[in-house]
Amino acid sequence: MKSYIFYLIIPSLILSSCRLEFNKTYTETLRDEQELSGISRIKLSGIMNFHLAYGDDEKLVIEGNEHDLEDIEVITNGSELEIRLEKNGTDFFEKQELEVFITVKELELLQFEGVGNVKTESTLKGEVITIRGDGVGNIQLALEAEKIDAEFNMLGNVTLEGKSTYLKLQNTGMGNINAEELVSENVELISEGIGKVAIHSTEILSLEVNGIGTVSYLGSPEIIKNEINGIGKVIRKKEED
């Protein structure tokens, strides 16, 4: 992960400084729309922004210039949708910002690898939702499920909201995770990254802190495990804080 982030973040910084020069070639924004059916597993990779929504009208919309749209690969296999954009060489600097919009009825898996932001425009629902984030960017998700299993190895911030009966949250990245608005009965947290982590547990809480930073929690749960091996502390926040 360290080598992957280093490889991506340096070109990203260069890209931001060179954006005006390279974007002169491709200025017109095009829109490609595709119908989807029965998609509940989503895998995303590349350099682009993703917008996810819950709705009966399942579809995929991609906005970008003609050159970028030609380079995106969309693969559907049963309930799985995979979207990826490979960049190499000088093509890296020629990419404008791509926006991808996905609407589904149910979510089972969301996997993100790359550079960009991932955001839900409405609450995504499912029985069991698995989230995997590995890359550079910010993630904002509204989720509602019986069980949520989330692992983040991100360079960036993560915000989670919604509700669940059981939340398993693991962090090995650099950045803050704010899950205070994701109200869960039972929470299992493993924090091995660098940054603050905030959660909300109403019944049972298990904590394993091996990273650097403060872990805070809302609620009055029974703490069945409180193991701190890293540099930081665990604090209980009051509802009015």
Per-residue pLDDT of the chain in tens (241 residues, 90 and over written 9): 444 444 444 444 434 433 333 344 556 889 999 999 999 999 999 999 999 999 999 999 999 998 889 899 999 999 999 999 876 544 544 555 799 999 999 999 999 999 999 999 999 999 999 999 999 999 999 999 999 999 999 999 999 999 999 999 999 999 999 999 999 999 999 999 999 999 999 999 999 999 899 999 999 999 999 999 978 889 999 876 5
Inside any domain, residue 140: yes
Inside any domain, residue 19: no
Q: 213 with 193: CB under 8 angstroms?
A: yes
The pTM of this model reads 0.85
The dihedral through the CA atoms of 67, 9, 161, 150 has a sign that is: positive
Please indicate, yes or no, whether residues 174 and 234 belong to a single structural domain of this protein. yes
Please indicate, yes or no, whether residues 84 and 151 belong to a single structural domain of this protein. no
Please indicate, yes or no, whether residues 154 and 98 belong to a single structural domain of this protein. no
pLDDT at residue 68 in the model: 85
Please indicate, yes or no, whether residues 146 and 214 belong to a single structural domain of this protein. yes
Question: Shortest CA distance to 117 belongs to which of 214, 64, 46, 180?
Answer: 46
- CA distances to 1, 18, 196 from 29, rounded to whole Å, are 33, 19, 38
Q: 186 with 163: CB under 8 angstroms?
A: no
Inside any domain, residue 171: yes
pLDDT at residue 10 in the model: 43
Please indicate, yes or no, whether residues 71 and 133 belong to a single structural domain of this protein. no
Inside any domain, residue 131: yes
Kindly provide the b/e burial profile for residues 169-180, where b requires at least 16 CB atoms within 10 angstroms of the residue's own CB: bbbbbbbbbbbb
Host domain of residue 233: 123-240
Please indicate, yes or no, whether residues 101 and 127 belong to a single structural domain of this protein. no
**Six-digit token pair at 92?**
């890296």
Please indicate, yes or no, whether residues 142 and 69 belong to a single structural domain of this protein. no
pLDDT at residue 55 in the model: 96
End-to-end CA distance of the chain: 35
pLDDT at residue 127 in the model: 98
**How many distinct structural domains can be found in the chain?**
2
Inside any domain, residue 190: yes
Please indicate, yes or no, whether residues 89 and 186 belong to a single structural domain of this protein. no
Inside any domain, residue 13: no
Please indicate, yes or no, whether residues 128 and 203 belong to a single structural domain of this protein. yes
Which residue reads 């970028």 in tokens?
68
Please indicate, yes or no, whether residues 152 and 228 belong to a single structural domain of this protein. yes
